[in-house]
Amino acid sequence: MKNQSEIILGIRNSQLSTAQANDFKKKLIQASDTYNNESIYIKYIKTSGDIHNTHRLDQLGGKGLFVKEIEEQILSGNIHIGIHSVKDLPAKETQGLKIVCWLERLDPNDVLISNSNLSLKDLPTGSVIGTSSIRRRSQILSFRKDLKIKLLRGNVDTRIQKLEEGEYDAIVLSYAGLIRLKKDHLVSDLFSIDEFLPASCQGAVGIQIANKNNNSEFLKALSKINHQNTELACSAEREVLRSINANCNSPVSVYSTIKENEIFIQCQLFDHSGSLLFNELISGNIENNLPLASEMGKKIIDQIGQERINELDKLNDNFNYTPKN
């Protein structure tokens, strides 16, 4: 019989967050004799992004909209950990908190789900594409300016329901989320990394705790669960964003891969009309993942300028896009 030691997990109230929490819970139980199903609790927390689920994210402030309330609960001691889709976490960590464990990253690709089961390149002119991401909006415009883009908010199930009800002809989602929800069979078009470089940390789940948490048994179990290559790659991606003061609303893609002892970091920046402003790949020894990321950030600033990068953080135009005749 395992000894009881209560752990409270804080997550968003969504099926995807629940799936991520259950995955972590299973791994935690396997990694330690201290914890079992009866000693690990899930607490659902409404975040600002969930409450204001019809507004444009960039107009709500952008940074931390899906994590702020969870982080506050960790700092206040009401929960022990927060489980996050790391692409939602601001690149600059909240004081008093840290990511101590990374679950193995799933496929980082973006995908298209279309009512006609067509790929992005085969959709008829004027088709309505749904997304809430400024990055994805810019990438779609870079690929095809003859499609309509319409704001789409809500959790995965809500977005798919709106598609099926005919509000959209197609929607762009994260492949990893669909895999976790066992809905990947709905995919019409799996975008290659070359076509659609993903957002920083897309597909990665991070376990966040308070710096002052000194539960040795818990920390030992987390170290067993931690997927090192995911941590190294995603930490580099976050460092690129931090170094240029960008966030999840910026039209920035950053993706790192690891092959043996070498890390490859690619970054792209677009303007809001879909023009590619920056595209570069750098590589080096995996032990230099953060210095390499800082080097990438410096290249971006030198080429584009910090003022221009800051301007890209907010879309001044209407999010919805209609092709010009």
Domain at 110-190: CATH architecture: 3-Layer(aba) Sandwich (3.40)
The catalytically annotated residue of 50, 58, 88, 189 is 88
Does the pTM surpass 0.85? The reply is yes
Tell me: pLDDT of 31 over 60: yes
pLDDT of 127-173, one tens digit each?
A: 999 998 999 999 999 999 999 999 998 888 899 999 999 999 999 99
Question: If we measure between CA atoms, which residue out of 286, 125, 105 comes closest to residue 198?
Answer: 105
CB count within 10 Å of CB 280 equals 13
Which burial class, exposed, middle or buried, applies to 87 when counting CB atoms under 10 A from its CB (0-12, 13-18, 19+)? buried
Which burial class, exposed, middle or buried, applies to 214 when counting CB atoms under 10 A from its CB (0-12, 13-18, 19+)? exposed
Where does the pLDDT of residue 4 fall: very low under 50, low under 70, confident under 90, or very high at 90 and above?
very low
Active-site annotation holds for 88: yes
Please report how the helices 289-304 and 228-244 are oriented relative to each other, as an axis angle in degrees rounded to 10.
Answer: 30
Class of domain 7-103+204-226: alpha beta
Q: Which tokens belong to 170?
A: 């197609």
Query: What integer best gives the mean pLDDT of the chain?
Result: 91
- Hey, which residues does 111 pair with through a beta bridge? 173, 190
Instruction: Give me the CATH topology for the region 237-312.
Output: Double Stranded RNA Binding Domain (3.30.160)
Residue that has been written with the tokens 């600059």 in this structure: 92
For CATH 3.30.160.40, the residue range(s) in the chain are 237-312
Where does the pLDDT of residue 54 fall: very low under 50, low under 70, confident under 90, or very high at 90 and above?
low
Rounded CA-CA distance 95/126 in Å is 46
Q: So what's the pLDDT on residue 19?
A: 95
pLDDT of 78-92, one tens digit each?
A: 999 999 899 888 888
Q: So what's the pLDDT on residue 51?
A: 47
pLDDT of 94-108, one tens digit each?
A: 899 999 999 999 999
Residue that has been written with the tokens 């799996």 in this structure: 190
For CATH 3.40.190.10, the residue range(s) in the chain are 7-103+204-226, 110-190
pLDDT of 203-226, one tens digit each?
A: 999 999 999 888 888 999 999 999
Tell me: pLDDT of 48 over 80: no
